[in-house]
Structure formats: structure tokens, C-alpha cells
Amino acid sequence: MNYQESIDYLNQFVNFERLKAPSYGMFHLLEIKRLLHKLNNPQDKIKSIHIVGTVGKGDRTFIIESILRSAGYNVGLYISPHLMDIRERIQINRKLISKPDFANYITFLKSIINKKKLNLTYFEVLTALAFLYFKDNKVDVAVIEAGLGGRLDATNVISNPLVIVICKIGYDHMQILGPSLIHIANEKVAVIKKGSKVVTFQQDKKVQRIIQKKCDEEKAQLYCVEEMYETKYCNGMMDVYPNKDTVPGQYFHVLNRKSKKIFYSKLYIPLLGEHQLKNVIASLCVIDILKKKKFKISKRNVQSGLRNLDISGRIEIIKTEPFFIVDSAHNVDSITVLINTLKSKFLYDRLILIFSIMLDKDIKTIVNLIASIADIIILVDLKSERSARPEEIVKKMEKNNIQKIAIFDDVKTAFKVAMNLARKDDLILSTGSFYLSAEIKKLTL
């Protein structure tokens, strides 16, 4: 198969990222384990860091990868979903898997899948491809972001990860993972393996107890970041506020929480929001664990890795005058973080919102949160089986949040209308879905 044929073949598999919320009974690991067994279990032949959670797992995946790469390691990166190109999901040293390699691996996997009559999903095929690709290219370490949940996520075939990172657990995918934080947490903590190192940060008390209980059962060592580190903005250098001539970012120190001694000084990240500082210190805890495992990572490597971070779709400014921000926030926690950052870091006259959201989200809470700061709301129909129709979104809006609302059938028209409506001092924000972010970014290329 050539590259396009391999994409067409892959798209024949069930893709839960695009479909309406499936029932929980549809998930299991039997088929991917069968495939990996035929591949001689490549996931067990590479060193890996496994990252799960509701909020921040993508950011921490990128941060850890960047620091390790700055230290000279050959680093695999597995993420989902992608924004622009499916090959974003599988990278080594931030270079996408090549189109010929992608096609060759899919062709090879197809032969096994057909011979063994395996019933796999889209995500499972990509996960197996990633493990095999990383093994064949002899990565020093792979940073693996879970897709959904934990216990039955395709990435949960890693038997002995170097570190497991459990990001903040919140409400998302409740119809699959369960209706309460306790249900969701129990699914996520199932990735904890016997004797593993586990890093977590600022969880709900009930969630924290579940994490601790699982660590005790597995004799895993738990690192609670908030008990170890804290951050402090550098004097006179709190933020680089965004304007047309500067790249937004933050300067800060990382301190030992007990002694207040500076552990890392004058760090810089080209990202906005206090939540990113939390992502950094959680990632630094992982780095410190790796250093105890004989990884050679200097403070200069940390500084360089953070300074050179490149993460798309996180309060990303794609235009100025007016500011146009693309953010992939898609659950209550991430939308709340986005709102707080906009309020504290940006000055603007009106906020013009381009919005779409998936059906399996807490639509009522999310849309009313973001609508509360918007002056004009543009709803877009992504025409996906899994996306909410704009008319249904309007029905869930509280009366005081129904302002100037427009509905469009395509992203291109919504983009043009927002640009035409915006004045110099306005801010345009696109948020609610990774897929909306992807379509917006394609229009600015």
C-alpha cells in the first residue's frame, strides 16, 4: 500500500474518537494483546513513561519528551488525537513518522490482522504501530499518552513503565468511564503496575485516596508533587504579556516546598497560564525519578527543553490585530483553566467565540462557562457523528448567556465571519474541540 491507501485502510477500523459514545462493554484488550504477541511484544522491549488523566496529560507528555530530547536521548512520542496530520501521533525526536514508513508498517500490520482475523480499533492499530516503530528505531525511551481512561485503554499493555504519571482526574467520558469521580479514578489507576513509580498532583481527596490505595496494593511508590515542589515567578519577570511583537511566556523558579530553596532557577516556558507551571513541576518530578535511574539530565537540559517547547492548540495565538486564539479545551476543568488565563493575561474589548463540542461532554456546564465571557457566539456544525448539533447547544444555554449567536454549517464560513466582525482590540477564541482547532489551523496555513 502507498500512504493514501494505508490511511484509507486504517479508516476502515472503528474510530471511537469520531463516533457517538460507545458502550463500555465494547472496550477490551484481548485483540491488541493478540496482535502485539505476534509482533513479539515490542512494548516490552522499550523503556516507557505512561501518562494518564483527564487534564494536562498531553502537555506533560510534550514537556517530558522535550527535556529528554534536550538531554540527547532518542525519544519516542505517542499522542492523541492529532491536529493536522495523523503522523503527529507517532514521532521520534519530534520528527513525524515518514509517509513511506507509515505505509510500510500499516501494510505489515494488515497482513497479520487479516491472517489472524483480528477485530481491532483505529486506536489499537496505531498504538501497535507506535510500539513496533519505537522498538525498530531503538528509542532510548518513549513517552506514551493514554487515549481514554486507563484500565482498558490500548496503551495499558505496558508491563513495566519507568514512571506512571496520573494527571488531574476530572469529569469526562462519564458514559464510558462511569458517572462519578470514584468510578473514573478506579479506571485510571488501573495502569499502576507492581513496584512502579507513580507521580500525581493536586487530586480531589477521594481520588487521592483511590490512588494511594492502588499504590499500596501494588507496592508502588507514590510521589505527590504538591508536597515536594512549588513555583515562584521571577522578580520583575512575572510574564511576557502577549502582543504583536512578543511570544507569550512565563519566567519562574522551582523551589523545594519545605526548605524554599530554589531547585531550578529562571526557567522559561513559551506557554501561558498558571496551570502550565503545575504541568512543569509534575514533569520535573518525573525527570528527577529518571535521574535516579541513571538518566543523565542536567539543569541546562531542563532549561533548554522547557524554552524550546512546541505545543499546538494550547492558548495558541495564530493571529494578532485582532488576537485570534486556538485552544483545545474540551472538558469542564480545561475550559475553567482557559477562562482564568484569558481573564488574567489578555486585555481586549469584545470576545468573539467560535465553538463546537462533542456529544459525550458536559455540554450544559461547558457552554455556559465559556459563553459567560463571550460577547458574540459563533456555533459550528462539525458534521461528525460524535459532535453536538449547534441547535442542541443553544437549548442548553442559560438565558443570560444567550447573546449574539450565529450558526454555521462549516468552519471556513465561521472563520471568515469572525474575522469580519472583529475590531482591532477584540479577541477571537476558537475552543471546545480538538477537531475544531484542527480545522481552524488549516485555514491559517
Q: Are 295 and 69 in contact (CB under 8 A)?
A: no
**Hey, where are the domains in the chain?**
3-232+237-307, 316-443
pLDDT at 239 over 80: no
Look at residues 205, 418, 216 and name the one whose alpha carbon lies nearest to residue 323: 418
What pLDDT, in 10s, does the model give residues 94-115? 999 999 999 999 999 999 999 9
Beta-strand runs (E) in 161-220? 163-166, 197-200
Contacts of residue 98, defined as CB under 8 A and 6 or more positions apart, other chains included, come to 87
Mean pLDDT of 53-81: 96
Q: How far is the C-alpha of 370 from the C-alpha of 339, rounded, in Å?
A: 7
- pLDDT for res 154: 96
Q: How many CA atoms lie within 13 A of 77 on its CB side?
A: 29
Instruction: State the pLDDT confidence band at 383, using cuts at 50, 70 and 90.
Output: confident
With 0-12 / 13-18 / 19 or more C-beta atoms within 10 angstroms meaning exposed / middle / buried, residue 14 is: middle
Residue 25: predicted pLDDT: 61
Fill in the DSSP letter of residue 228.
T
Indicate whether 321 pLDDT > 90: no
Asked if 3-232+237-307 and 316-443 have one fold, the answer is no
List pLDDT tens digits, range 285-311: 999 999 999 999 999 999 999 999 999
Name which of 287-301, 309-323, 400-414 the model is least confident about: 400-414
Chain centroid to CA 258: 31
Separation between Cα atoms, residue 439 and residue 329, nearest integer Å: 15
For 165, the 3-state DSSP assignment is strand
Cell representation of residue 20: 457517538
Q: What is the mean pLDDT of the chain?
A: 92
State the average pLDDT over residues 21-32. Answer: 77
CA 268 to CA 258: how far, in whole Å?
23
Q: What is the pTM of this model?
A: 0.94
pLDDT one-digit tens code per residue, 330-351? 999 999 999 999 998 888 999 9
Q: In the chain, how many H helices and how many E strands?
A: 15, 18
Closest C-alpha among 164, 189, 139 to residue 289:
164
How far apart, in whole angstroms, are the C-alpha atoms of residue 163 and residue 199?
7
Into which CATH architecture does domain 3-232+237-307 fall? 3-Layer(aba) Sandwich (3.40)
pLDDT of residue 240: 46
Cα 358 to the chain's mean position, in Å? 16
Share of the chain above pLDDT 70, in %: 93
| Confidence at residue 403, expressed as pLDDT on a 0 to 100 scale | 67
Instruction: Report pLDDT for 398.
Output: 83
Confidence of residue 401 (pLDDT cuts 50, 70, 90): low
CA 401 to chain CA mean position, Å: 29
- Which carries the bigger pLDDT value, residue 224 or residue 401? 224
pLDDT mean over 159-185: 86
Helix ranges, 71-168 (H): 99-116, 122-136
Query: Do the beta carbons of residue 388 and residue 378 sit within 8 Å?
Result: no
Q: How far apart are the C-alpha atoms of 382 and 371, rounded to whole Å?
A: 19
The pLDDT of 427-431, averaged and rounded, is 97
Q: Is the pLDDT of residue 247 over 70?
A: no
| SS3 label, residue 413 | helix
Q: Which residues contact 126 (CB under 8 A, 6 or more apart)?
A: 10, 80, 86, 89, 90
Residue 148 has pLDDT above 90, yes or no: no
The H or E element that residue 305 is part of is: helix 299-307
- Report CA-CA distances (Å) from 329 to 129, 316, 430: 28, 12, 10
Lowest mean pLDDT among 77-81, 208-212, 313-317: 313-317
Greater confidence (241 vs 306) lies with 306
The set of cell numbers assigned to 253 is 523558579
The answer to whether 230 and 243 have CB atoms below 8 angstroms apart is no
CATH of 316-443 given 3.40.30.10, 1.10.10.60, 3.40.1350.10, 3.90.190.20: 3.90.190.20
Q: If you average pLDDT over residues 153-157, what whole number do you get?
A: 97
Grid cell listed for 133: 516503530
| Closest C-alpha among 103, 80, 91, 72 to residue 137 | 91
